[in-house]
A and B are shown apart, each in its own frame.
Chain A
Amino acid sequence: MIEPQELRDLIRQKVRYMLGESGDSLTPDHLFQAIALAIRDRLVDGMLGTQERYAQQNAKRLYYLSLEFLIGRSLGNSLNNLDIMEICREAVEPFGVDLEDALEAESDAALGNGGLGRLAACFLDSLATLGMPGFGYGINYEYGLFRQEIDNGYQVEKPDNWRAYGTPWQIEHPSEAVFVPLYGRIEHSLDRHGHYNPMWMDWKVLIGVPADMPVVGYGGKTINYLRLYSARSSQDFDMNIFNMGDYIKAVEMKISSETISKVLYPSDAVVQGRELRLIQEYFLVACALRDIIRVYQTDHEDFSEFADYVAMQMNDTHPALMVAELMRFFIDEEEMYWDDAWKITQAVLGYTNHTLMPEALEKWPMSLFEHVLPRHLQIILEINSRFMESAEATRPGDNEFLSRLSLIEEGPEKKVRMANLAIVGSHSVNGVSALHSNLLKTTLAADFVTMFPDRFNNKTNGVTQRRWLLSANPRLSRLITDTIGPEWITNLAALRGLETFISDAAFQEAFRDAKYANKQRLAKRIKELLRVNVSPDALFDIQVKRMHEYKRQLLNLIHIVHLYLTIVEDGQTLETPRVVVFAGKAAPGYWAAKHIIKLINSVASTINADKRVGDQLKVCFIPDYRVSLAEIIIPAANLSEQISTAGTEASGTGNMKFQLNGALTIGTLDGANVEIKEEVGDENIFIFGLQTPEVQRMQMERSYQPWQYLEDPRISRIMAVIAGGRFSPKEPSLFRGIHDSIMGGDPYFLLADLGSYIETQADAARQYNDSDLWTRKSIINVARSGKFSSDRTISDYAADIWHIEPFID
């Protein structure tokens, strides 16, 4: 363990020799950079040591392929995981900058949109903490998810140039650059034995240059890496194009190559059908496979043992091209027979499905495929042909069955169905909560279950308690550790030990104090960002996640309007003062979601300025939701909003983070809410609304009639106010469209759930007033959150799908 003086000296060295500063007047950013560089050497030692250990043990490795890794800040996480946070605090005292300010100076690495990207990041943390040989492969986007500003209530997107001034966390390895072919055409020929030989000619070349980010497991014994690829044009390419004499064209072609890794596509749960996105997906897959093979070939002569030493998990269908790329590599480059190649491919690959929403399923026009990846298209068509034969044998003459299963969707424009490709090419297909995995088997993948009954399983999502409790909520963490010891940090099930203290007055008081302090911290941030005063005594009612109609921020907002009207029109006083917090980004092209942001801000402005309301109700939309902001918001919550229409949210992970931090959930029986309820008990969660079978029935029968709910005067009043311009006096019809979307053909059944939601919210507010009761329930929620650690999730994946083991000294 490093001593404060040693760390101080290292930091001083970095200040001088890496930053070129004397150290007399450091900014928080200087100090952040210097601390990061100082510990980076240890991280490199750790990474290399870990790699040697895996090599000596001939470990089977897991490669987690994802187009998104929503990492957030790394310094605090690394200091905590190395257990040197306090040592560092002491070390930096003489520099005249607070450690907290230095930690705040780090930009979030926002290489992801939301849950899927954050899951990948939590998984890497757990893999390392469990000592498992698991590595992330992704794209080194120059621009991460856009920064969100709010201008006149509207979202405005700004570029997120997160590593504009470099990042201390990435170690480039140009010597391990790989080349990636793209475009071109197939030339049909015969090989030396007279067999058909499709030659992929005239491709363009991209170079993928890797940079590694260390992933520190708790305790520092295992340090894995996340390998991110940047796209470059090849040096030779550059020189020769320049030599050809057209300088401007040369620059244009160079820029065009490097565009591939320029920016993360900012859509969450909706497909972006652009060519650049397809190229990004192939770029990741091609770079990853070359590197995985390079590692494998350091110890193996041939590929007969490939599946014994390599496992790959596809995070959604974004890396599903790996099915075709593996086949292409084995057949074209290694001259394997089809069946042998297919056996290895399936044995290696696993696929995680994250959504059943049709608009989120990737389907690429065949014409685009032909243009960008002609050889892969050939291979996919061959995979499909063989699969269709097998399907026909299973259900002879059932053309509808074949049509549903086919990797190719027929129609005016044929499309390649990536989910079907991923399912067919994997030995394991999992959903991310019990409910979702069941729905996956009974809806989207029902026909595949007929074909491959043993392939489907569930792996309920999880979150890392190290970032989401230890780091984000030091007060609560300290209390827990002082009470039951530190075991929970690496074994979250140990939190059950808190159940002994549910009724312990001293523990309750300390628990409440921790929550209160977190609320004060958030209140301060709200004041800084929004100039709104909120009282930490109020019920902090929080909904923070991507903006999407299925997540129903609108339902929450309608409830707020209801509360507002009871105050200003009915003259009532709210039993429980409430602060409602929203945060989240809308995809830039998602007009409806952006309009909801505007409505939230308009409602907030009206309510917060209305003297009749006073401190009873405050509404805040905090801009630029990201991991570092979540770490401030979530620990402050009393009530966690998880109110998606039943059957839409595959799992959720925000729900788990809130539970871990002692918030009570108000939610539908959707996604992992179902399992949270199973763990905490009916009386410790607020469940409302339609359940999945009811939603499905109403969908099938088309029996939902929003107008019938206007018989409830509360509801008719709310809708009239929204449509009538109360929250947009200068543009009275501004929110008419939102009103109309709720009243006509609303696929998310807002009004059907509204009555139940209002009642349940009232119940929650009443219970909040009983401080002892609320505290007990909060403690129970924390105590019973063990299942939702990503350590548990990863252990399940490792045992059931990847068959990898921990390697700890």
Chain B
Amino acid sequence: MEMTVEQKGDVSVVNVHADHLDASVSEEFKREMAPLLEEHRYILLDMGQLRFVDSAGLGAILSCLRKSGSTGGDLKLCNLAKPVRASFEIARMHRIMDILSTEEDGLQAFSR
């Protein structure tokens, strides 16, 4: 799974270059995210290319959120397509993490 990182001030914008985050790739996602979580305190995950996230994908993101929180960092999401956002809402994960419409909103959320 390809991910690119762009530093914008304190925030590392991680772009996920995949169209699905589900059972087949969730472990790989966690493995790719692990060093990024250690290196970067504030991560904004740009989900713009994803068109499908299932519960395994949600579980992987949850695990990243917790890892980030445990070291005093934070993980936020932006650019979710409607069906992807729906998955988060079904799981009520939007109540425990910030999900922003655009990258700009996401960066602003970190500065608050």
Contact = CB atoms under 8 A, between A and B. Distances in A.
A236 B22 contact: yes
A236 B83 CA distance: 13
Interface string B91-107: 11101100000000000
A202 B86 contact: no
Interface residues of A, number: 26
A589 to B, nearest CB: 35
Contact of A199 (B19, B25, B54, B93): B93
Interface in B1-40: 19-20, 22-25
Interface string A181-203: 10010000111100001111111
Interface centre among A189, A199, A243, A333 (most CB of B within 10 A): A199
A201 B90 CA distance: 9
Interface in A240-260: 240-241, 243-244
Nearest to A193: B95
A243 B24 contact: yes
A184 B23 CA distance: 14
Contacts of B52: 234, 236
A184 B92 CA distance: 14
Contact of B22 (A197, A198, A240): A240
Interface in B50-85: 52, 54-56, 58-59, 62, 83
B91 A240 contact: no
A332 B59 CA distance: 17
A332 B90 contact: yes
A51 to B, nearest CB: 22
A205 interface: yes
A335 interface: yes
B55 A192 contact: no
A241 B20 CA distance: 13
Nearest to B90: A181
A297 to B, nearest CB: 10
Contacts of B83: 179
B43 to A, nearest CB: 17
Interface centre among B19, B58, B83, B90 (most CB of A within 10 A): B90
Interface string A220-242: 00000000000000101100110
Given A236-B20, A241-B24, A332 B92 contact: yes
A478 B96 CA distance: 68
A399 to B, nearest CB: 35
Nearest to B66: A189
Contacts of B96: 189-192, 197, 199
Nearest to B20: A236
A243 B22 CA distance: 12
Contacts of A189: 96
Interface in A317-343: 332-333, 335
Contact of A181 (B20, B23, B55, B59): B55
A197 B83 CA distance: 21
Given A201-B59, A202-B59, A333-B86, A240 B23 contact: yes
Contacts of A243: 24
A372 B93 CA distance: 20
Given A237-B22, A240-B23, A335 B90 contact: no
A646 B95 CA distance: 55
Contact of A201 (B22, B55, B86): B55
Contacts of A179: 83, 86
Contacts of A202: 55-56, 59
Contact of A205 (B19, B24, B54, B92): B54
Contacts of A197: 92, 95-96
A715 to B, nearest CB: 62
A333 B90 contact: yes
Interface centre among B52, B56, B86, B92 (most CB of A within 10 A): B92
A197 B93 CA distance: 9
A46 B3 CA distance: 49
A244 B24 contact: yes
Given A181-B90, A236-B52, A335-B95, A201 B24 contact: no
A333 B89 contact: yes
A774 B27 CA distance: 79
B91 A199 contact: yes
A236 B59 CA distance: 18
B95 A200 contact: no
B41 to A, nearest CB: 19
Contacts of A205: 54-55
A200 B62 CA distance: 12
A456 B22 CA distance: 47
B91 A200 contact: yes
B47 to A, nearest CB: 15
Nearest to A191: B95
A262 B78 CA distance: 39
Nearest to B58: A201
A25 B93 CA distance: 63
B24 A198 contact: no
Interface string A442-478: 0000000000000000000000000000000000000
Nearest to B23: A240
Nearest to A332: B92
Contacts of A241: 23-24
Interface centre among B52, B54, B83, B96 (most CB of A within 10 A): B54
A748 B59 CA distance: 56
23 contacts: A181-B55, A184-B55, A198-B92, A199-B62, A199-B91, A199-B92, A200-B92, A201-B55, A201-B62, A201-B91, A202-B55, A202-B56, A202-B59, A203-B54, A204-B55, A236-B52, A240-B20, A240-B22, A240-B23, A240-B25, A243-B24, A333-B90, A335-B95
The 5 closest A-B pairs by CB, nearest first: A240-B24, A333-B89, A191-B95, A236-B20, A203-B55
Interface of A: 179, 181, 184, 189-192, 197-205, 234, 236-237, 240-241, 243-244, 332-333, 335
Interface of B: 19-20, 22-25, 52, 54-56, 58-59, 62, 83, 86, 89-93, 95-96
Given A200-B90, A236-B19, 19 more contacts: A179-B83, A181-B55, A181-B90, A189-B96, A190-B96, A197-B96, A199-B93, A200-B92, A201-B62, A203-B55, A203-B90, A236-B20, A237-B22, A240-B20, A240-B22, A244-B24, A332-B90, A332-B92, A335-B95
